[in-house]
Each structure stands twice: as structure tokens, then as C-alpha cells.
Amino acid sequence: MASKAKVSLALLLLSLLVLCASLAQAKDPELKICQNQCKRQKQQCERNCDEYIREKKERERQRGEGNGGVERESYDREEEREEQEEEEEEEEAEDNPFLFEDEDFESRVETDEGSVQVLQRFTKRSKLLRGIENYRVAILEADPLTFISPAHFDAELVLFVAKGRATITMVRDEERMSIVCDEDRKSFNLECGDVIRVPMGTPFYMINRDENEKLYVVKILQTISIPGHFEAFNGPGGEDPESFYTAFSREVLQATLKADGFQLDKLFHKQRKGSIMKASKEKIDALRQHKQGSAGIWPFGSFSSAHIYNLFNKQPSKSNQYGSLYEALPNDYKQLQDVDLSVAFANITRDSMVGPIYYSKATKISVIVEGEGYFEMACPHLSSSRSRGQRGGRESSRPRKSSTRYRKVSGALRPGVVFVTPASHPFVVIASRNSDLKVVCFEINAKGNIRYNLAGKGNVMNKLEKEAKELAFNLPAREVESIFNLQDGDLFFQGPKEREEEYGRAFE
């Protein structure tokens, strides 16, 4: 009966609303009286609905108590099941949050002559990588004799030339910096192995000056304005690339440039070739032959050949028959100090490996340039996540044998793949039996970072006291030492004789 009364009341309210609408159209003098009646009926209807909800909740509560809380327990179990499913889905998504492949890159620039591919934000894959959310990785590829259009970035850039030969030109504002100098720009010829920093906001452009070889540049960007986000601002340009000048109103451009509309249309609508374009050999030669930096102070320290650091111009920090490691540390290259970054290049000989090692405070971002292989890493975070998921998000009442459990994180490596090894996570990298594995590495938080070897000469375990070894391993110290002294190599070793089946295809 109560429900029928509510339905009747709703119908009456609807009729009054229709009547009010009709009166409004006819401008009837009784309109105000009708509107007041509608308002009162609406308020009464809302009160009835609120009362109905309260009565329903009370009936459900009483029914649950009468069943001994069975419904409540069922609800709890359902909620627990949903939480477990969410954790399992999250764990599946984070099954290997440290490995990134082709599908994880987005194309920022794509022309017939080249491309710029940018790796997704690290935190998009997993919250475990939020420590490097301010960093992005990008890869530039450009055909021979091409020009990369001028731009500036709202991020700090460090570039590594992995293949090819380039010329980069940076523009500066001498008046702003109160420096007396004849030149407003400096150009540098770059070779394979060169590292160079482009400070945030500095306009620059590049050419691939080689007539035959492609240019391959790996970039690390430290975002500043918006964590994890960066933009390229193109000044010169037209429709492609679009110039940021065109964002201003026509009146502003006419006033600031003292140009008429015809001139502006001609200036900002003719370019349609994209940011990477073919250039004649004559123009490339002219750009590469401009005087390189020799004197002056810009933007910090000497703006000269010291602005470039070539990894291959000095002896490797570690080298043997199984591989070589070249490093540019903040103390070696002043340009890296302000961004707290180091750059390294590892050439792992085929059928060899580097590690196991870990870095005390640096998170390592590695980009595969050539070859194939795989990596393994010990991670406590994913193991902990899985354990919680198996218990439905509740802690087990059984005592645990250890406070930490580890999960092996691994993945196949090939050109273009990026993998991350967080600080203090032990890892190894293994080259296939078919080719050397060449890796470009950026190490974030490099100041004061220490590399700890876990095998071979100078490994950590050999530095423990005798008593500490015996207590930690529950073995006589001589037995522990006999095992950790078997390997007399240093950092690079012969690879495993047996490959895991899951990586078999990577080495065929």
C-alpha cells in the first residue's frame, strides 16, 4: 500500500509540473500559485524517498542479525575476494615492471628521414619506479645528411651518441649573461661515444653530417616543470613542426615583429617537412664547418671542447676478455655534476656476463644498442606483493623464517629494450652466444654512489670478518672463503654454460 501511495504521489507531482509548464507558455496569472504547489509536492516526495531508504536499511540490518551475521560474513568474504583479485591484477601488471620494449615507446616525431621515440613515464608501469618519475628516456634516429629543427626543452638533457657522427649547435644570450663575446652560438662535432649536456631552456639544433651512416642518439631527460612530463618548444617552424610563435594572436605578432599579415603567413605556414628533414650536402658542410667553441664562459665553466666528454677516449674502468666498461662520472665530467648523473657504456663479449653487482644509491637505466642477451635481478618488493596476495591481503599468523623473501626478475634483451635496476638491487647481465651485447647506461643519484661486486676480485663477502662469515653462513670461514675465492675475474666473467629455456630463442 505504501508503495502505491508513493507512485500516486509521483504521478500527481508530474501532472502538476506539466500543468505549470502549460501555464508558463500561456503566461497564466495563476502560474505563481501552481509553482508553489509543485515545490511543496516535490519536498514531500523527497522526504518520502529518504524515509523509504532508512526503512530498507533497518530491515536489512534486522535480517542480518537474525541470521547470526551470515550476510555480514558473506559480504566480508566477497570484499576480501575482490581485494585479493585487485592485488593479483596489480601483481600481474607488475610481473616485470623493470623491462620496457617497443610497445612502451611513443612516437613524438616521425618523418621519412628519422624519428624520436620516447619511453613512457616509469611510474605508468609501476609505483616501484616512483623514485625516477622525474626522468624520461628518448631515442633519436636520423638518416644521413639530415637536419633536426631547432627547439628548446623544459627539461635538462644529456645526450649520448651511440652511432654515427653529428654536429650540435647551441644558442646563448650573451647580453643576459653579461658576457663579452663575438658569437651567440657554439657548434660541436660529435662522434660515437660522445656525451654532451644541453641545459634546460637552451635552443639547439643538430645535423647528421655523415653521408652514409645513420645517427643514433640516446637521451636522458630530467623533467623540472611537471614531474615525468616534458615538451619540446619549436621556435622556427610552420605547420610541421608548428612554431610556438603561432600561439600568439596575430595583433601581437604584428606589433612585436613589425610585420604585416602577408609576411607572417609566409613565415609560419611554409614549413611542412617535419622536425627531421633532408638537407643538401652543401648546407650540411656549411653547418659542420662553423667555428667550434674555444673561449668564453657559458653556461657554467668553459664552453669549449671540455663541454664534450668521449667515453672511448680514455682507458676503460674495467676490462678483460669478457667485456669492457667505460664510465663518465660526475667528478670526470663537470657537466654531469649539476644533474647528479653518470653515463656508462658496457660491451659484454658474447657468451659472457657482467655481475652480480649492485649500486649503493644509484638507479641504473640501461638501453640496449646492439646484440642480444638477458638479465636477472633479485627483487624483494614483488615477492612481498605476491605473498600478501596469496593471503588475501591479511598477514599470516604463522611465524616467518625470514623477514625478506626475494623474487627473480628477468627478461630477454635486444636492441631498443630498456631495463631498470633500482638502487641496492643485485643484478647480472648476460650476452648471448651469438653476439656481443652493447649497453648504454644512465645512473641517477650518482654522487657518492658505490658499485659493490658480489663475485670475483674484491667481492663483498670476502671483506667480511672471519667470525661474521661463520655466523652468517653457519659454516667454517675457510669453507666460505674457498667458494668465494674460486672466481679470480673482475666484474666480467664467462657466462653460464647452460641457458634457461625461456631465453633459448634469444640466442638462436
Q: What is the DSSP string of 350-387?
A: TTEEEEEEEESS-EEEEEEEE--EEEEEEEHHHHHHHH
Q: Give pLDDT, residue 173.
A: 62
HSE-CB for 329 with a 13 A CA cutoff:
13
Judge whether residue 147 has pLDDT over 60.
yes
Least confident window among 196-210, 272-286, 288-302, 479-493:
288-302
Judge whether residue 501 has pLDDT over 60.
no
Looking at the DSSP bridge assignments, the partners of residue 428 are: 376
Residues 246-266, mean pLDDT to the nearest whole number: 90
Q: How confident is the model at residue 302 (pLDDT cuts 50, 70, 90)?
A: very low
Residues 425-432, mean pLDDT to the nearest whole number: 96
Q: How far apart are the first and last CA of the chain?
A: 79
**Cα–Cα distance list, 189 to 60, 193, 293, 307 (Å):** 78, 12, 10, 11
Residues 415-419, mean pLDDT to the nearest whole number: 95
H or E element, residue 450: none
Residues 458-480, mean pLDDT to the nearest whole number: 91
Residues 74-96, mean pLDDT to the nearest whole number: 53
Judge whether residue 462 has pLDDT over 50.
yes
The residue among 294 and 319 whose pLDDT is bigger is 319
Q: Give pLDDT, residue 89.
A: 41
Least confident window among 35-44, 79-88, 385-394:
385-394
Helix, strand or coil, per DSSP, at residue 323: strand
What pLDDT digit, counting tens, does each position of 182-241 carry? 467 788 999 999 999 999 999 999 999 999 999 999 999 999 988 899 999 988 887 888
Q: How confident is the model at residue 373 (pLDDT cuts 50, 70, 90)?
A: very high
Q: Give pLDDT, residue 8.
A: 56
Taking a C-beta distance cutoff of 8 angstroms, is the pair 335, 156 a contact? no
What pLDDT digit, counting tens, does each position of 73-82 carry? 554 555 555 5
Among 9-13, 42-46, 176-180, 402-406, top mean pLDDT goes to 402-406
Judge whether residue 427 has pLDDT over 90.
yes
Judge whether residue 291 has pLDDT over 70.
no
Q: Give pLDDT, residue 426.
A: 95
Judge whether residue 40 has pLDDT over 90.
no
Helix pair angle (2-26, 31-66), 10° resolution: 160
Judge whether residue 43 has pLDDT over 60.
no
Residues 74-101, mean pLDDT to the nearest whole number: 60
Please list, residue by residue across 137-151, b when 16 or more beta carbons sit within 10 angstroms of its beta carbon and e when fewer do: bbbbbbbbbbbbbbb
Q: What is the DSSP string of 382-406?
A: HHHHHHHHHTTTS--SSPPS-S---
Q: Give pLDDT, residue 84.
A: 54
Q: Give pLDDT, residue 28.
A: 53
| Distance separating alpha carbons of residues 222 and 159, to the nearest angstrom | 12
Residues 238-265, mean pLDDT to the nearest whole number: 88
Number of other CB atoms surrounding residue 481 within 10 Å = 16
Q: Give pLDDT, residue 34.
A: 57
Q: Give pLDDT, residue 320.
A: 94
Nearest Cα neighbor of 115 from 104, 123, 125, 107 is 107
Please list, residue by residue across 185-214, b when 16 or more beta carbons sit within 10 angstroms of its beta carbon and e when fewer do: ebbbbbebbbbbbbbbebbbbbbbbbeeee
Judge whether residue 65 has pLDDT over 70.
no
Q: What is the 3-state secondary structure (H, E, C) of 467-502?
A: HHHHHHHCCCHHHHHHHHCCCCCECEEECCCCCCHH
Q: Give pLDDT, residue 6.
A: 52
Judge whether residue 12 has pLDDT over 80.
no
The fraction of the chain above a pLDDT of 90, given in percent, is 50
- Per DSSP bridges, beta strands 437-444 and 323-328 are unpaired
Q: How confident is the model at residue 502 (pLDDT cuts 50, 70, 90)?
A: low
The residue among 449 and 56 whose pLDDT is bigger is 449
Taking a C-beta distance cutoff of 8 angstroms, is the pair 189, 367 a contact? no
Judge whether residue 19 has pLDDT over 70.
no
Looking at the DSSP bridge assignments, the partners of residue 99 are: 419
Judge whether residue 39 has pLDDT over 60.
no
- Mean pLDDT score across all residues of the chain: 80
Q: Give pLDDT, residue 13.
A: 54
